[in-house]
Amino acid sequence: MKAYRKSWFICLVAAFLFLLAACGNSENTEPSGEEGEATENQNTDDTQSAEEDTRTVTDAMGHEVEVPANPERVIGSYLEDYLVALGIEPVAQWSVRDGEDIQEYLQDDLDGIPTIPSELPYEAVTSFEPDLLLMDSAGMVEDNKYDQYNKIAPTFVVGTEEVNDWREKFQIIAEVFGMEEKADEVLAEYDTKAEDAKEQIQEAIGDESVAALWLFADTFYIVSENLSSGDLLYNELGLTAPSVVSEISETSAQNWTEISMEKLAELEADHIILVNSDGESSALEDSIWQNIPAVQNDNIYEFGQDSSWLYTGPIANSQMIDDALESFVE
């Protein structure tokens, strides 16, 4: 009987000690004081960190786009000029004709970057595993293409139509990346350069007229007075446009418009920027071409299709300013 009582007593004591230990562990699971505050702060920081992983921006079509805070694999077909100006290296670059034609003037910065077809096939886009897609205009995502691209990566449409004002386009793209200050710096530096060049060129050639022509497949195209490189020549540098340029610009919405030989015969340009994609061409031997004042006075400044004269953007325009200074002043 004594042995039984002793055994019962030992079991009771053991159970009591086990209960005390369990209560102690339960109390220790809830932090108190500074430890509790630190845990709460850590949870708050984790929530804020998750929120800071993306930024919400609204595109031209009204989409609220969740953009990664620091996108690392960006595709912006034909927008590479703006990306490079912001210091962003795209994961792929625009091309046509199976990668044979690219934006040569950007290759100091894009050398080695793989090409992607300009029409942006879904399979090709997917293969680059982008974390952000930039589309120049709504036309690139029509017929339900937006939903398809947006399944691959967050997709931002810059303009409902193609934005011809390169400054506006640049500022929109900078806002997507939260780099408005960087864009302001680039534009301020560019404006200083353009104003200085304007003074030098006008001092060199005064009000003598200037035209920009593109020769492609034995056909001449003339730049618009207010678009592409025409905007640079006539608005930013303040050069004089021949009457034929003004006349064609009134009826055409294109950057470069085909000019007939009859109209070419009326081109009284004192200076011509010639973007020659043909090299030697019979069009340059034609008597109509030979009778233009700029040709007769040997005021032809020739550039290849690898130059920036067929494009626009902060880098393209800056390079064109360099070309204009070399042509008209140096």
235 and 302 assigned to the same domain: yes
Instruction: Provide the domain limits for residue 230.
Output: 198-328
SS3 222: strand
For the chain, percent of residues with pLDDT exceeding 90: 79
Q: CATH number of the domain that 207 lies in?
A: 3.40.50.1980
209 and 271 assigned to the same domain: yes
User: b/e map of 207-219 (b: 16 or more CB within 10 Å)?
Assistant: ebbbbbbbbbeee
Q: Could you tell me the pLDDT band of residue 43, with boundaries at 50, 70 and 90? A: low
218 and 257 assigned to the same domain: yes
**Domain end (from 131, 148, 182):** 182
Q: Which residues pair with 221 in a beta bridge?
A: 214, 258
Over range 1-26, report the average pLDDT: 43
150 and 214 assigned to the same domain: no
pLDDT score recorded for residue 38: 53
pLDDT score recorded for residue 280: 87
**Domain end (from 155, 182, 209):** 182
Give the integer Cα–Cα distance in Å for 241 and 46. 60
Give the integer Cα–Cα distance in Å for 315 and 319. 6
143 and 172 assigned to the same domain: yes
207 and 294 assigned to the same domain: yes
- The mean pLDDT value of the chain amounts to 88
| Count of the separate structural domains present in the chain | 2
Answer whether residue 38 is part of any domain.
no
117 and 172 assigned to the same domain: yes
**Domain end (from 129, 152, 182):** 182
Report pLDDT digits (tens) over 89-136.
999 999 999 989 999 999 999 999 999 999 999 999 999 999 999 999
Answer whether residue 30 is part of any domain.
no
323 and 229 assigned to the same domain: yes
Answer whether residue 193 is part of any domain.
no
237 and 145 assigned to the same domain: no
Q: Could you tell me the pLDDT band of residue 330, with boundaries at 50, 70 and 90? A: confident
Cβ neighbours for 319, distance < 8 A, ≥ 6 positions apart: 105, 307, 308
Report pLDDT digits (tens) over 265-296.
999 999 999 999 998 899 999 999 999 999 99
Answer whether residue 14 is part of any domain.
no
95 and 173 assigned to the same domain: yes
133 and 254 assigned to the same domain: no
175 and 202 assigned to the same domain: no
DSSP 246: H
Residue 278 or 25, more confident: 278
